[in-house]
Amino acid sequence: MSTERRSVTAPDAPAAIGPYVHAVAAQGLLFVSGQISLDAKSGEVVGTTAGEQAEKALKNLEAVVRAAGGSLRDVVRTTVYLTDMGTFQEVNEVYARFFDQEPPARAAIGVAALPLGVRVEVDAIVALPQA
């Protein structure tokens, strides 16, 4: 198995807001940085509710995975960060639309705050298809 490490930049995802890349691929896995509800063109936060923000964050996640040659079906693990665990069910309803069959393993973690004051952030590990 190759030990090559490759950075992935997704043209359809918002630019990183810090010193990180969208994702790093290594040894057949893709490690996707946390995605929040930013619009790729404007860089502005999209949505006010946790559900709306989760939807945009998951669309951004999908854009990163696609740029690396995968799809959401290849996601094996996600972490969902929530500033209010009271929105867990609302976020679950949105999440289920993106992972409707054989969802990945997942953790949901309550946090005090997230970048730019958003309510939801999602990161992932993806098993990339063999080229």
pLDDT in tens, the chain (131 residues): 556 999 999 999 999 999 999 999 999 999 999 999 999 999 999 999 999 999 999 999 999 999 999 999 999 999 999 999 999 999 999 999 999 999 999 999 999 999 999 999 999 999 999 86
For position 2, what pLDDT does the model report? 54
| Residue spans of beta strands (DSSP E) within the chain | 5-8, 23-26, 29-35, 75-82, 105-110, 120-127
Burial zone of 18 (CB within 10 Å; 0-12 exposed, 13-18 middle, 19+ buried): exposed
Answer for the pair 28, 1: CB distance below 8 angstroms, yes or no.
yes
Rounded CA-CA distance 21/10 in Å is 9
CATH of the domain at 75: 3.30.1330.40
For position 75, what pLDDT does the model report? 98
Q: What CA–CA distances, in Å, run from 44 to 3, 8, 36, 79?
A: 36, 22, 10, 23
pTM for this prediction: 0.95
Answer for the pair 118, 36: CB distance below 8 angstroms, yes or no.
yes
For position 130, what pLDDT does the model report? 84
- Using alpha carbons, select from 54, 55, 34, 53 the residue that is nearest to residue 44: 53
Per the structure, the complete domain to which residue 104 belongs is given by 5-127
Rounded CA-CA distance 103/106 in Å is 9
| Domains held by the chain: number | 1
